Structures are given as structure tokens and as C-alpha cells.
Amino acid sequence: MIGIVGAGPAGLFAAEKIGKCVVLEEHPEVGLPEQCGGLISVDGLKELGVYDKSYVLNEVKGARFFSPHEDFVVQRKSSQAAVVSREMFDKFLLKRAEKNGADVLTDRKVTGIVRKGEKWKVDAGDDFHFEKLILAPGHSPHLVREAGLEPYATSGLLKTLQADCKMEMDLDFVELYFDRRYAKGFFGWRIPKGDGVVRVGVGSVENPVDGFSKFLKKFDAKPIEKFGAVIPIEGPLPRTAGKDVLLVGDAAGHVKPTTGGGVVMGMMCAQIAAESIGNPEAYELLWREALEKEFQLGLLIHQFRKNMDNTQLDQVFRIIKKDLVHLIEDYGHMDRPSTLFRAVDKETIFQIAALFGKSQ
């Protein structure tokens, strides 16, 4: 029997592709509590074959970017990102997995795994024994370590805080704020969910509490509900497969360093995991062949941004406004930064690289 730990998008998508398997979910209900910003690329959802209006709250055509003293707008005629209800999205994936033969058990928190002979013994209240195991529990260093792999270092984690707030906002645009007063090494965001509700959040490589408070005050935002998460932001782990065990999603570091989004990349790797469940070496090779260059480029961008002060952020924004907005509109892709990178001329890259050197 194949076991999957975690009934988030990566775990459920792997379960759908495998069919007959057991999925262990720690929470009493799939999709709750919500801990995600809920902004997912339309192209990514369609590429995975899971795009469906049933879980979409709103769709946006562009983004407004702000540094402390500069700003620019990127927009297209068609929808670029879906603002989703993660509860509805996860339950949509749950139905697909169950329809294909997966047995999803909720309120089953996995507290430990250990190799016993030719099987994995999984402690989730009761003992489960699996011949093959996929770990998709989110950021869970103790389970990664018990699988015989090296977990994520705390230095590579992003801390996020978010709140749904009652306020009005242009439904066609998300807003991203690059300002170290609010978000150190990352950015703040406003995402319009519709019906007068906006998701307001910050991500920080340091403690986000103070910056989040200042960010809420900036908009006079009154939170309806607050939530947070810890996200591995600095690229995938060096090894994501061991003896009859595969890591997918946040557990493997399958998260875009540029945005902190892990749904599409995690599901792509989950599909590869399902197709190579009996061959850990093939899984490691295939997902890296498909996506590692995107993670590496995203990490380069993140390292550049992480070390910028506000003056340097303004300088980067001026370069983007002058030379890159039209390229972003033509070539930008939420999940594949390489499509834009290939279109940027060398002189502009050297200008930005010079700023990167000053930020070290």
C-alpha cells in the first residue's frame, strides 16, 4: 500500500494520480485552516488540468508594484491569476482523489515515521504500514529527518502574516509593496477577494509582527481574521528522495523563491512523484530536469531582493519602469521566471547586478 502524509494540494494531487492509496491529514477538515494567500496562476492551473470556476473568488489581470518612492503597473487583457478559496480548492482536489480510489483520513496527525523492514511504520494515532511513502505535510523538519533526509535550515524560512479585511479595492489588480519598513527581504501584498474583502499580508525573513502591524495601519485595515505560516523560501532541498520515500511540496522546498507560492510547483512535482513512486532516483532526476532551473533563477532574484535597502529598491524600480515593464507584460510568467530573463538585454542585467553587488 502507498501512503501519503498531508492532504494539501500536493498530497491530494499525488493521490489522484496514484489512485488506490491512503492519505493522512492532521486537521479535522481538508482545506482548513487556510494559511495561503490564495493567488495562483491561471496558466499553472490549466497546465495541471485542475482549473475550475467552482473555487475561484476573483481573477486579476495585472499587478501594481510599489517601492517606498516609486511604482509601476503590469497588466494584460486576459486573467493572469485566480484568487481562490483554499478551502474550496482543496476540497475540489479531494473529490478528484477520492473518485480515483484514494482513502483520505482526517484528524490523523502524523507524529513519527520509522523504517521497519521493508515498510514505513507511520504513527498517526494508530499505526499504519506502507510500502511506499510520499511526504507532503508542509514544512515538517522532524518528519524529513526521520525519513533519512536533511531538513530545511531555519535561515531559509519566510515568515508570513495575513488578514482578511473589509475594504474596497480594484478587483483587476493585486498590489505588491517592496519596503523594508513592512517586509524585510520580501514584500507586502493586497489581494482582492471580492465582496468588499481584501487579503492583506506581509512576508519577512525576520519576525513579521511589527511590519505587519505597520502595514495594516497604512491602509487603516481592520482584520476579520488573522493567520500566518512559515514557508521554505530558498529553493528545494539537496535531496528529496530516500528509500521508498519521496518529499513533495513545502516539505521538499518546492516553493517559488520569487513569490512564496508553492501550489503549482508542488503539484507539478507531486505528479512526477506519482508517476515514479517506485523509483526514487527517477523522481529526483525528473523533477529537477523539469523545474530546477526555475527554482535557481528564482533564488537568485530572492537573494538579490533580500539584501536591498529601501534606496536600492527605489533604484531597481526606476530601472524596471524605464526598461522592463513592456517585457514583463510580454514575457512575464508567474511560475517560470526564465521566460522573462531570456528576454532582458544584457545591459539591463548588468545595471541590476551592479546594485546587487552594492547590497552585499
Residue 346: predicted pLDDT: 60
pTM equals 0.94
Nearest-angstrom CA–CA distance, 61 and 334: 12
Residue 48: predicted pLDDT: 98
Residue 341: predicted pLDDT: 73
Residue 354: predicted pLDDT: 63
pLDDT in tens, the chain (360 residues): 999 999 999 999 999 999 999 999 999 999 999 888 899 999 999 999 999 999 999 999 999 999 999 999 999 989 999 999 999 999 999 999 999 999 999 999 999 999 999 999 999 999 999 999 999 999 999 999 999 999 988 889 999 999 999 999 999 999 999 999 999 999 999 999 999 999 999 999 999 999 999 999 999 999 998 999 999 999 999 999 999 999 999 999 999 999 999 999 999 999 999 999 999 999 999 999 999 999 999 999 999 899 899 999 999 999 999 888 988 888 888 888 888 777 776 666 656 566 555 544
Nearest CA-CA partner of 294 in 269, 321, 327 = 269
Residue 332: predicted pLDDT: 83
Residue 343: predicted pLDDT: 74
Residue 208: predicted pLDDT: 97
Query: For residue 331, what is its C-alpha cell?
Result: 514575457
Residue 357: predicted pLDDT: 55
Q: How many CB atoms lie within 10 A of CB 330?
A: 11
Domain boundaries, the chain: 301-359
